[in-house]
Chains A and B, each alone.
Chain A
């Protein structure tokens, strides 16, 4: 390390110069989404690590941390892991994904449907 302790974890979080756009009415929502998205990313990382462990155990029966760190998927495994991440993204992004569907097909409130059914 360098003589003065360099806190790389703090340095990695440095903010980019330039005022951050505000997307939501409540600034706290900006922070909440940033934490949530970081966690969404980290869960994906855990899943990929678990997949690595499972594949190595399948192949070797017993493994070391070095095996995990040096694991490189072959083409088929890489595709399967890509598909695993994709499936995970679709699951956690269900809400925004359904917003697209709502935009495609506008629907009446269920209360209206309820009134309709009462009459037919």
Chain B
């Protein structure tokens, strides 16, 4: 084997699934289950770096010329490009392969989790039992309905989505989501798939050295990947992490507790209505890759409610993939839209067409309070690769985000202080 790898050459290969860290509710993968994710991680790298450039070639060399001939003009938007590209043999085949990779990731993850679901449920119970009583770090509310934007289709082709159960009260949704992100990101999010949360910690420590928020709200927390690193970095701060789905919260709570993040309270709640919290309750309101899983009417409500519960001098920060501005070429918009129509992300396309700055101004921020920044996943670079951006990027999945943020009334607060 080693003979086929020249010593002086380093190939771009995914880290082994063995490098994924285990926590208290991790499913235990067998040798072959590890090998399945090793294959998918490397296959997804191949798809993004080696095959994907064929899409642009097909567009430039035959799809665009045929479109110009037929219509006598350039495509007006990403939708016209998609309809034209969906007839191209190369793009069709690439999409079919990619869809299969996503479906295999779900099947492989569910197979690991469901064969040991009784053990996983028992592990989760150890952390969750009693949590709803004295410690009160897990609060489930059966009256919280699954919103239409979560139930219309199973988001990212995850059977059952975040709210599904295979057995009553189980944690399969969270365990499957957690264990397979490695495969779809080629390990780009690190050992605990928390490269986004680690990046937030790095960012805030540089941005506001010494700042100690009193209370942080994480909206759409799913399995709590991105909030656990912050909770560990600010042990004296109270964290509230909300989601509409009970199954994912059961898993998230057990996972966080097992990792020592005991200062997070997981609450089943819908962020469109945060009326249980008074105005100005939180010093930081955070969403991480969440807003694209809502809807046209829910998103402004969530940001407006987030604004209301945010204290003066507090931080609102949203991590998403970059928006489709006029500066972004239509072909790139089309490629970034792949997940919207091929991986069950039905709000993805509309959300990325929104001007997030306008949305935040509508919620109450002054335009001059807003800022934007890039945030790259922070992972152990000894083992985990830096996710490529640009040509080789796996569009929509790169571990590199665009942050839309604002410090509420910070200018007025400073003026008042002076």
- Give Cα distance in the complex from A87 to B12, angstroms: 11
> Assuming A23-B95, A51-B1, what are 5 further A-B pairs, CB within 8 angstroms?
A18-B152, A48-B32, A73-B18, A96-B97, A99-B90
Chain B residues with Cβ below 8 Å from A72 are 18
Minimum Cβ distance to chain B for residue A55 (Å): 9
Residue of B nearest to A37 (CB): B100
Chain A interface extent, by class: 35 or more
Chain A facing B: main interface SS = helix
Asked if A23 and B99 make an inter-chain contact with CB atoms under 8 angstroms apart, the answer reads yes
Asked if A11 and B166 make an inter-chain contact with CB atoms under 8 angstroms apart, the answer reads yes
- Give Cα distance in the complex from A83 to B54, angstroms: 23
Asked if B16 and A41 make an inter-chain contact with CB atoms under 8 angstroms apart, the answer reads no
Asked if A78 and B35 make an inter-chain contact with CB atoms under 8 angstroms apart, the answer reads no
Chain B residues engaging chain A, CB cutoff 8 angstroms: 1-2, 4-5, 11-16, 18-19, 30-32, 34-36, 38-40, 42-43, 45-46, 50-51, 53-54, 57-58, 61, 89-90, 92-97, 99-101, 103-104, 106-108, 110-111, 114-115, 117-118, 152-154, 157-161, 166-167, 341-342, 344, 346, 383
Chain B facing A: main interface SS = helix
Minimum Cβ distance to chain B for residue A109 (Å): 16
Contact residue among A14, A23, A54 (Cβ-Cβ distance under 8 Å from B96): A23
In A63-118, the 8 Å CB interface with B consists of: 68-69, 71-73, 75, 78-87, 89-90, 93, 96-97, 99-100, 103-104, 106
List 6 A-B residue pairs with CB atoms under 8 Å apart, sorted by A's residue number.
A9-B115, A21-B341, A24-B92, A83-B5, A87-B4, A106-B61
Contact residue among A23, A85, A96, A106 (Cβ-Cβ distance under 8 Å from B51): A96
Chain A residues with Cβ below 8 Å from B13 are 79, 82-83, 85-86
